[in-house]
Amino acid sequence: MSLSVSLTSLPPKPPLFLPLLLLLLLLPTTAEAATVTANATLPPSPSPTASPTPPTTKTPSPSIHSTLDPKQLRALQSLDIPTAKDPCSQPSPHNATICDSSSPFRHLVSLHLSNCSSDLSLSYTALKSLSTLQSLSFTNCPVTPIRFPLDLALSLRSFTCIHSLKHLTGVGLAHFVNLTDLTVSNVPVNTSGLYVVLGNMHKLRSVTISNANVTGYIPKHLLFNLTHIDFSGNGLKGRIPSSITLLENLESLNLSSNALTGGIPSNFGDLISLKNVSLGSNSLSGAIPDSISAIPDLAHVDLSSNQLNGTIPKFFAEMKNLRYLNLGNNEFHGVLPFNLTFMKRLAVFKVGGNSNLCYNHTILSSKLKLGIAPCDKHGLPLSPPPAKDDSSGDDSGSDSSDYDDESDDSSSKKEGHHGPNKVVLGVAIALSSIVFLIVFLILLKRCG
């Protein structure tokens, strides 16, 4: 702000017209920007160097060769991004801003907003001036969403919205047709189905729409070259379409915590690039398809908390990269086909919560606490399986016990009163009986 005062007091010479105009443009927002910039005394550096006949002798930081487009600079200030330092200088804090190298003005190609203040507001004008962005991300920015300008929607390659923007619409997201990466997580998306969002994104490689309150079916025509799919934590229903197995570049598939039914497609093993798969916490039934044995690089398999049945296939033991196997809380039966060597190789191994599954106690020790019973000689569980231990649950971590506190407290207090009272009463009765007996004996002796 000290700078703006000194500059406006300069004699208005013609060559100064451009920088002055620039500064005037900035003036309405500098005060606002100063409130979020810790060191407001730092001179705003961007303005002078871009001018053809710059008064460079007066600039405090001549090291900057090119600066941000003033319209975009204003847009950043309206988004509370500190601009005291040139946003195009690298590295910017948390890589919040990245610019191209065009001249005379540079343009933003990447903007990452995180932990925004709650009184921040997006303006259509600001967003429109940012239509050079290829990557835009919001993390923990609970600002009120607005319609995205079409220019911006078309220029974006990557869009991320995590716990931000309060809510999104499927129709709005569908305009982002040039995206290769879409991440929407912990934001409700109002849409009649995933196909509305994804139908026109032909370049998409990676998509996450998780914890977004999306219902409906998984689209049958996922006709893109996807490598990552995460639709976890929604209300998706129906079967996993067998057409999903056409995605031969797919490396990770996460459909956990939905309401999917039916079997795992029998040709699931066609997903030959798959490394991580989570189908946990759905209502899937039937057996694990044998075709899965053909997937060479599986590292993470979570099929927990479904109604899968049949025997557990031996082929998991042959998978060299497997590190995580959770088959807990299903309806598998028969003898667990694994030995200790295999289990020790894994970071996570869970089979608890399968009441008809058992382990061969000549091969495996009960100390492993697998959460299943040992087998008899016919391969049936010997005793009722041990009480479900905590570690056998699925890993979705979605359970909330927030509501238990109060009732627990009061009831445990009541119980607490009963317990000690009975003990005290018993001890008192015992003691008084002994005293009574002694007195009685003494009296008896004196009388006798």
> Rule CB under 6 A: which residues touch ligand NAG?
38-39, 91, 94-95, 114-115, 154-155, 177-178, 188, 190, 210, 213, 215, 225, 232-233, 249, 252, 254, 256, 276, 278, 285-286, 299-300, 302, 309-310, 317, 323-324, 335, 339, 341-342, 360, 362-363, 375, 377, 379, 395-396
For the CB of residue 82, give the shortest distance to ligand NAG in the complex, in Å. 7
Judge whether 199 and 176 are in contact, CB under 8 Å.
no
Whose Cβ is closer to ligand NAG: residue 16's or residue 86's?
A: 86
Going by C-alpha positions, the residue among 64, 65, 101, 104 that lies closest to residue 84 is: 64
DSSP 8-class letter at 241: P
- The rounded distance, in Å, linking the Cα atoms of 75 and 118 is 17
Whose Cβ is closer to ligand NAG: residue 13's or residue 314's?
A: 314
For the CB of residue 379, give the shortest distance to ligand NAG in the complex, in Å. 4
Going by C-alpha positions, the residue among 183, 129, 125, 178 that lies closest to residue 153 is: 178
- The rounded distance, in Å, linking the Cα atoms of 82 and 32 is 10
Whose Cβ is closer to ligand NAG: residue 16's or residue 228's?
A: 228
For the CB of residue 353, give the shortest distance to ligand NAG in the complex, in Å. 16
For the CB of residue 158, give the shortest distance to ligand NAG in the complex, in Å. 13
Residue 314 phi, psi dihedral angles, 5° rounding: -70, -25
Q: Which residues of 220-249 are buried (b: 16+ CB within 10 A; e: fewer)?
A: eebebebbbbbbbbbebeeebbbebbebee
For the CB of residue 95, give the shortest distance to ligand NAG in the complex, in Å. 4
- Tell me the two tokens of residue 191: 């849409």
For the CB of residue 4, give the shortest distance to ligand NAG in the complex, in Å. 19
Whose Cβ is closer to ligand NAG: residue 335's or residue 372's?
A: 335
Going by C-alpha positions, the residue among 41, 59, 56, 37 that lies closest to residue 1 is: 41
Judge whether 166 and 143 are in contact, CB under 8 Å.
yes
Q: Is 158 left (phi over 0), alpha (psi -120 to 50) or beta?
A: beta
Whose Cβ is closer to ligand NAG: residue 56's or residue 339's?
A: 339
Hunting for tokens 């001890």 — which residue is that?
427
For the CB of residue 54, give the shortest distance to ligand NAG in the complex, in Å. 25
Whose Cβ is closer to ligand NAG: residue 61's or residue 178's?
A: 178
Judge whether 280 and 302 are in contact, CB under 8 Å.
yes
Q: Is the dihedral of CA 248, 254, 260, 262 positive or negative?
A: positive
DSSP 8-class letter at 210: E
Whose Cβ is closer to ligand NAG: residue 25's or residue 246's?
A: 246
Whose Cβ is closer to ligand NAG: residue 157's or residue 388's?
A: 157
- Tell me the two tokens of residue 199: 């139908």
For the CB of residue 265, give the shortest distance to ligand NAG in the complex, in Å. 14
